[in-house]
Amino acid sequence: MAESLELPTLRVQRSVRAQVAQALRAALVAGQMRPGEIYSAPTLAAQLGVSATPVREAMLDLVKEGLVETVRNKGFRATELSEKELDHLTEIRQLLEVPTTVKVIGVATEEDLARLRPMAQRIVDAARKMDLIAYIEHDRDFHLELLSLTGNTELVSLVGELRARARLFGLTRLAQTGELHTSALEHMRMLDLIAAVDRHGLERLMDAHIGHVRGKWAGREERPPGA
């Protein structure tokens, strides 16, 4: 069976099933749940501090999303994506997220930016603590909230799905070297560029930021923006 994951003890807010599903999506994206390894609901439940029932229900939700598959009489296994598939997901994200984030300029109010700054700080704090699950969760919340300022709920939903399908196997190494902290600070920079109405600067930063997914976050050499 697969080794123990560093999953958080869940807080009672939304339904336990929804909390479990979000935590497991983050573990998948962070690369902690590896393709080929089998995870049982009772084992995951013990790590999350909940009963096995909401874990099984959450896993079945992830099966419908194509993120995991059932293994008869054993549990669940993370689905495997090829390098090409991950490259394509990143390309789609850049096509969607970069121009939409730039559109936030002129729409975001001072109150919006003030609300987003604590969210960006939580990403920085998670990177400093090397808490990869929290990093992924806070990163997702920040970007989807930022995109939501444009009012395009369909796009926000689609980007959320694309993010859930990513695999960032290089995060552990980056956290250990401190490079993840550098990436985390880019979220603060995004807000500064929005406040400064710097569309070109924000476009370049967002393109590079998403490029990390298939660059250093995946253990690859990154190309400069536009290369």
The residues spanned by each domain of the chain are 16-78, 83-218
The CATH code for residues 83-218 is 1.20.120.530
- What is the percentage of the chain residues whose pLDDT exceeds 90? 54
Mean pLDDT of 77-94: 88
Question: Do residues 174 and 217 make contact, with C-beta atoms less than 8 angstroms apart?
Answer: yes
CA atoms of 103 and 33, how far apart (whole Å): 35
Residue 7 DSSP class: P
Predicted confidence at residue 4, as pLDDT, reads 66
Decide: 134 and 9 in contact? Cβ < 8 Å: no
H helices of 36-152, where? 41-48, 52-64, 83-103, 110-129, 132-148
Q: Considering the domain 16-78, what is its CATH architecture? A: Orthogonal Bundle (1.10)
- Say if 16-78 and 83-218 have the same CATH topology: no
CA distance 195 to 113: 8
Check whether 11 has a pLDDT greater than 70.
no
What is the rounded average pLDDT of the residues 168-195? 88
**What is the structure's pLDDT at 225?**
44
Q: Report angle CA 36, 74, 58 to the nearest 5 degrees.
A: 85
Distance (Å, whole) CA 59 – CA 121: 30
* pTM of the predicted structure, to 2 decimals: 0.78
State the pLDDT at residue 227.
Answer: 40
Q: 22-74: per-residue pLDDT in tens? A: 889 888 888 888 888 899 999 999 999 999 999 999 999 999 888 899 998 89
Minimal CA–CA distance to 160: which of 29, 20, 16?
29
Summarize pLDDT for 111-136 with one digit per residue, the tens. 999 999 999 999 999 999 988 888 98
User: Which range, of 34-43, 88-97, 174-183, 186-195, averages the lowest pLDDT?
Assistant: 174-183
- Residue 69, strand partner residues: 77
